A and B are shown apart, each in its own frame.
Chain A
């Protein structure tokens, strides 16, 4: 027990003091084990310092000790919410290095599973964003629908989240008989729930008040920080690797690049970033519909997989549009079956770096929303 002292207070010299709060690593709204060191002046945020590394697993170093196919399941564990999209740039890099011709059916199957996974990712992003704003119900609506997508992916790959589905020159599992009908069902469900959430959450007056004009990310700041994905598009920049650098067969599909238009609030604010995800779900539905129509049902999806993968000496950078942004893998090969060096360029990591820039001067409750609108996954930030 400290003894009580008589303190004389000079009221004219009393000064307000800023308070430092630790948000995380155990906190309901940091979307994982992110730790933000926040300095607040009352309710106003004056400084944010993100601290990373609570989920660090030495991904890049670990890869140097594994053969190329062994790395694929490990990549799943980076962005575990959209694992299908993660695997894609990696196998693309290997296919380019080995000069493997990917069969038509595999290309379509990859597009379909990647877009399904993109929808599932955006569903989680919008759902948790609503949860950050205090709306609980849309969260459960989306989790209910996401389950149907996961079931399809589970039937194809055998796993709910960490699929290990992509192979060099193929995929692990062929389509099952009711695949097409189930995909169409899921698309109908996604559209129905999206319409519902539009009414319930996105155009809710309170939600608009909370998110519009908050955390404005101007296009030049976004480019300077290297942001990509919905974060960049929310700022009005129509940059999407699926269209700008069409990999696989994306040039065969007709789809739009949704950008933040500022229907509500300012271009680049939380509401517009979130809205881009809502629109992207619809575009993904369109892509899946076209792909289902064009996809050949004949053919062996495992035929082109090489028996032994040994990359020639050299280096390659391959990138693809992850739901969260541009995911790239830089591989240096020394001619053996293990990479000399593997570097991942993760979208969440890069997008997270913009947080201190755009959250100063907003209220503490807004900081949580800004973090939610960036849509990070700590498995990939920390790697």
Chain B
């Protein structure tokens, strides 16, 4: 198997290159978050027949920068009644959880920060840390709204993790690997070789195409719940819980929550891209295929998923907490389990 990290190929493994490998995704997250915030503002404006921000820079493209600067200027408040340590730690835990997942995201065939052979497991384990941060923040704020938001977040976590894991496991069965780089390599070819359309293989894969597409939808729904976005922004639930778990947060700590939300959006989109949309592969065979173009394809595909998330957010109303649990346990779980079963049978008798 070829190397998965061009920096280490070129400069060897030493302290400087390790820092560079860590800094690259961090820089990407920061720039991406600014772009995504602008996209959110602008897309919501277009959906609602508004202009969106227009004053900060041409067509308002500097609006996210202005927002971040504004948040940095705010006074750093810690409520008297809060548990100081947990309260101050929570935003950083959430952000590190979201950021740590970038370690195993294959941006290109020549760049994946950490080549872990249980990458998908790692993503799920790390992803749950953000929920822990939410509970910490909600509990430590000593605010009843925050507490309710935190409790909702826990009940939400157990409802969406299992169907999402089932969807991912089915692809693991198909590709017989948990390494995200290898899953990407397996889908090289044309777009009908993506796991969304049953993956590479002979014509017999038509039997599993309905199942893989169902799984993709199930995973997408679960990923919306994971990122706490409409229609599943129940822990925030602004109409009843004011701002949910981050009601008491302001300034830089709120900015951390903000960044973490967008980073999380990208993580779930990147996983979706990798396991269903062929990762960094070109959809058209050798057309613009390669490590450099791979970055372009990967970001393009992930951004389309981020776009759909934004689109959904500004279109749908919010679910109620018990309805999310119903959806998770009684709809998504059986459906994804049936798909998992069918795909396993297919792999057995192929």
Contacts and interface: CB of A to CB of B under 8 A. Distances in A.
Interface of A: 19, 21, 23, 27-29, 42-43, 130-137, 140-141, 144, 200-201, 204, 206-207, 209-210, 363-368
Contact of B49 (A141, A200, A210): A141
Contacts of B195: none
Given A19-B144, A204-B316, A210-B317, A364 B240 contact: yes
Given A134-B231, A204-B317, A363-B321, A43 B148 contact: yes
Contact of A137 (B48, B144, B145, B151): B48
Given A132-B239, A363-B322, A144 B317 contact: no
Interface in B310-336: 314-323
Nearest to B230: A134
Contacts of A136: 44, 48, 314
Given A21-B145, A134-B238, A364-B240, 14 more contacts: A23-B240, A28-B238, A42-B151, A43-B152, A43-B322, A133-B318, A137-B48, A137-B315, A141-B49, A206-B318, A210-B317, A210-B323, A366-B320, A368-B240
Contacts of B237: 134, 365
B318 A134 contact: yes
A368 B231 CA distance: 17
B233 interface: yes
B15 to A, nearest CB: 42
Contact of A365 (B50, B144, B240, B316): B240
A209 B319 contact: yes
Nearest to A136: B314
Considering residues A19, A136, A201, A363, which has the most beta carbons from chain B within 10 angstroms of its beta carbon?
A136
Contacts of A131: 239
28 contacts: A19-B144, A27-B242, A28-B242, A29-B240, A42-B151, A43-B148, A130-B317, A132-B239, A133-B239, A133-B318, A134-B230, A134-B237, A134-B316, A134-B318, A135-B316, A135-B317, A135-B318, A137-B314, A137-B315, A140-B48, A140-B50, A206-B318, A207-B317, A209-B323, A210-B318, A210-B319, A210-B323, A368-B240
Contacts of B319: 206, 209-210
Nearest to B50: A140
A205 to B, nearest CB: 9
A207 B320 CA distance: 10
What secondary structure prevails in chain A residues at the interface with B?
helix
B131 to A, nearest CB: 18
A1 B69 CA distance: 34
Contacts of A141: 48-49
Considering residues B231, B237, B239, which has the most beta carbons from chain A within 10 angstroms of its beta carbon?
B239
A358 B257 CA distance: 37
Q: Give 4 closest A-B pairs by Cβ, nearest first.
A: A134-B318, A135-B317, A133-B317, A140-B48
Contacts of A27: 242
A363 B239 CA distance: 13
Nearest to A207: B317
Contacts of B233: 134
Nearest to B318: A134
Contacts of B23: none
Contacts of A201: 317
Interface size grouping (class) on chain B: 20 to 34
A38 to B, nearest CB: 10
A207 B47 CA distance: 19
Contacts of B317: 130, 133-135, 201, 204, 206-207, 210
Interface in B222-261: 230-231, 233, 237-240, 242
B250 to A, nearest CB: 15
Interface in B39-70: 44, 47-50
A140 B152 CA distance: 29
B320 A210 contact: yes
A73 B113 CA distance: 68
Contacts of A206: 231, 316-319
Contacts of A209: 319-320, 323
Nearest to B147: A19
Contacts of A29: 239-240
B314 A365 contact: no
Nearest to A372: B239
B143 to A, nearest CB: 10
A264 to B, nearest CB: 14
Contacts of B145: 21
Contacts of B238: 28, 134
Contacts of A364: 148, 240
Contacts of B49: 140-141, 144
Nearest to A135: B317
Considering residues A131, A144, A365, A368, which has the most beta carbons from chain B within 10 angstroms of its beta carbon?
A365
Contacts of B152: 43
A130 B315 CA distance: 11
A232 B117 CA distance: 64
Interface string B288-321: 0000000000000000000000000011111111
Considering residues A137, A144, A209, A363, which has the most beta carbons from chain B within 10 angstroms of its beta carbon?
A137
A35 B44 CA distance: 31
B241 to A, nearest CB: 8
Interface string B118-147: 000000000000000000000000001100
A367 B237 CA distance: 13
B288 to A, nearest CB: 36
B316 A363 contact: no
